[in-house]
Amino acid sequence: DAGVIQSPRHEVTEMGQEVTLRCKPISGHDYLFWYRQTMMRGLELLIYFNNNVPIDDSGMPEDRFSAKMPNASFSTLKIQPSEPRDSAVYFCASSAGQFNEQFFGPGTRLTVL
């Protein structure tokens, strides 16, 4: 079975450009999480969805960040406009139930020049 799928794996963009990161959770999972990993702050929860509905977006750093989940098999994290300090690895994870194991995707390494 396929795990969590993220695309692209790497993204290099210039400051001010719009960036869209994509995630396909494991089929049947009803929770989807977006995390950001940096050397300075480690792994931080940005937002999570339950049955496609955003539950907690308090970790989203600024209004430049937005996330959507139009259906059970797809989610996007968008940064507009991007800034160099957004450079990080962004992970998507999904779980079947809130208290069950979260399965992480391979991540998208974002570099904003």
Query: Rounded to 5, what percent of the chain is helix, strand, coil?
Result: 5, 55, 40
Q: How many CB atoms lie within 10 A of CB 1?
A: 5
Tell me 86's DSSP state.
G
- Please identify which residue in 45, 73, 74, 76 interacts with another protein, judged by CB under 8 A: 45
Query: CB of residue 33 vs another protein: minimum separation in angstroms?
Result: 8
In the bound state with another protein, the residue whose beta carbon lies nearer, of 10 and 14, is: 10
Angle at 67 between CA 76 and CA 69, to 5 degrees: 60
Give the x-and-dash track for 85-104 against another protein (CB under 8 A): ------x-x----xx-xxxx
Provide the binding-site residues for another protein, judged by CB under 8 A.
4, 42-45, 48, 50, 55-56, 58, 91, 93, 98-99, 101-107
